[in-house]
Amino acid sequence: MTPLDAARRALAKAQAASTKASEARAALPPGSSRAKVTTLNARWMRAAEERDRRAAVVRKLEEQS
């Protein structure tokens, strides 16, 4: 497996985690506690940042090849 393949695989996992966190956030019922909303927002934000970092690595490796 090349570094680019590994990076793409990691990006796919990060994308799935980000999507899962986003769906959990969207599934909150109205009237949820502020703590629950804040927690899910933070989890989604971290997952999205990781996805963006992985995407940057893939772009960099694609430019090099």
Cα–Cα distance between 42 and 65 in angstroms, integer?
Answer: 35
State the pLDDT confidence band at 13, using cuts at 50, 70 and 90: very high
At 14-51, the pLDDT tens digits run 999 999 999 999 999 999 999 999 999 999 999 999 99
pLDDT at 65: 82
Residue 53 reports pLDDT greater than 90: yes
Name every residue whose Cβ is closer than 8 Å to that of residue 36 and which is 6 or more positions away in sequence.
Answer: 28
Residue 52 reports pLDDT greater than 90: yes
pLDDT at 16: 98
Q: What is the pTM for the complete model shown?
A: 0.89
